[in-house]
A and B are shown apart, each in its own frame.
Chain A
Amino acid sequence: MNNLTNFISLMLLIATLPCAAAQQWLSIADQSQIKFIASYDNAEFEGQFTRFSSQFNIDPDNITASKLLSNIDVTSANTQSRDRDQALAEEDWFYFSKFPQATFSSQSITIINDNLLEVTGLLTIRDQQKEITFPMQWQVINDQRRQAQARFTLDRRDYNIGIGEWLEDETIGFNVQVIFSVTYELAN
């Protein structure tokens, strides 16, 4: 009987080990921001996506098996400029009615040092998907919270943002900086 109890206990422990090890972190909307900095007439302007969600599934024993997923509602783009925000919805730009979502899905994550990860993954905007790699700070706030910060530059042409006559950078520049600052909460 004792042996059976021990066996069941051992089996239960083994079965629960991977679950205990894997951590699921979910973004906290009101403490997170995804901003972008673009240029108009060679002067910078800033905007942000006010609706998005992100999930970071971390396997502490095998960090490369971790997965970072983000979903961005591009129709929430806000540059605090009515004319500009209306233009972003147009077919030549984000084409909101056809492509309302942008997604990021990591393919590999490596540890650079204690607080720094290198993330490679697929970023999909409109009808274009490209692989990007960027360093990401991953900092402990407390047992239940983490802060992720990353900054990288995209070329808007890679994602068909600003097509047709907008394929010039005299008015709207090609490079767009993306600033990702997201607070995550442990879900399990």
Chain B
Amino acid sequence: MKWGNSANHWGLLSRLLHWFSAIAVFFMFGLGITMINMRLSPMKLEMFIVHKSIGMLLLVVIFIRVIWRLLNPAPRASKHLSKLQTKIVFLGQLLMYGLLFAIPISGWVINSAANFPLQWFGLFEIPPITEPSIVVEDYAKTTHFVLICILGSVVLLHVCAALHHHWIKRNDILKRML
């Protein structure tokens, strides 16, 4: 079991970070939708606190993933994909990386503009990145929502494509990440 990527397989670190991000993103979708539709209560605030801490963790994870990808080249393009499909896959990955940066940052802006403290899992305080402002808060909320909708769509395509290759085309594309 190698930490680094090989020519045909994603390494252990890439896979761990990928699957952690996948689980966390799905959990965050569910948590986010549930909490914004709740009436104000300590439970709602607790859910926001957890959502923010996981969001900041995802920001760190995507940072590590990009650094790791630059240091440790991805496996070769699958022979089961055409050149156009390979390009689309790369653009899709680039878009998901970008969204995984932008979404936590827009959430951080919302929290800062709304003037709420941000304690990372109760361990230490993360400083605000903007001054309190209702205008900035509203703008960041819209941005956060739009970016989440885009990520949801891309993730759906990503999952469908992976399952299509695994179950319909019966190639090794999904297995490279398992």
Contact = CB atoms under 8 A, between A and B. Distances in A.
Q: Judge: A and B partners, yes or no.
A: yes
Interface of A: 39-45, 79-84, 87, 90, 165-166, 168, 170-172
B114 A41 contact: no
B116 interface: yes
B42 A165 contact: yes
25 contacts: A39-B117, A40-B45, A40-B116, A41-B49, A41-B119, A42-B122, A43-B119, A44-B117, A45-B115, A45-B116, A80-B115, A80-B132, A81-B114, A81-B132, A82-B137, A84-B115, A90-B40, A165-B41, A168-B42, A171-B42, A171-B45, A171-B46, A171-B49, A172-B42, A172-B45
Contacts of B40: 87, 90
A61 B137 CA distance: 55
Q: Which 3 interchain pairs have the tightest Cβ spacing?
A: A43-B117, A80-B132, A81-B115
Interface residues of B, number: 17
A40 B125 CA distance: 11
Given A41-B49, A41-B122, A170 B42 contact: yes
Interface string B120-159: 0010010000001010010000000000000000000000
A167 to B, nearest CB: 9
Interface in B53-70: none
B118 interface: yes
Interface string B82-122: 00000000000000000000000000000000111111001
A43 B116 CA distance: 9
Contacts of B117: 39-41, 43-45
A52 B132 CA distance: 24
B46 A170 contact: yes
A87 to B, nearest CB: 6
Interface of B: 40-42, 45-46, 49, 114-119, 122, 125, 132, 134, 137
B32 to A, nearest CB: 16
Classify the secondary structure of A's interface with B: mixed
Nearest to A46: B115
Given A41-B122, A42-B122, A87-B40, A79 B115 contact: yes
Contacts of A84: 115-116
Contacts of A39: 117
B116 A81 contact: yes
Contacts of B115: 45, 79-81, 84
Nearest to A45: B117
A82 B46 contact: no
A81 B133 CA distance: 8
A48 B4 CA distance: 54
B114 A82 contact: yes
Contacts of A80: 115, 132
Given A81-B115, A168-B42, A172-B42, 19 more contacts: A39-B117, A40-B45, A40-B116, A40-B117, A41-B45, A41-B49, A43-B117, A44-B117, A45-B116, A45-B117, A79-B115, A81-B114, A81-B116, A82-B114, A166-B42, A170-B46, A171-B42, A171-B45, A172-B45
B51 to A, nearest CB: 12
Given A82-B137, A83-B114, A171-B49, A42 B41 contact: no
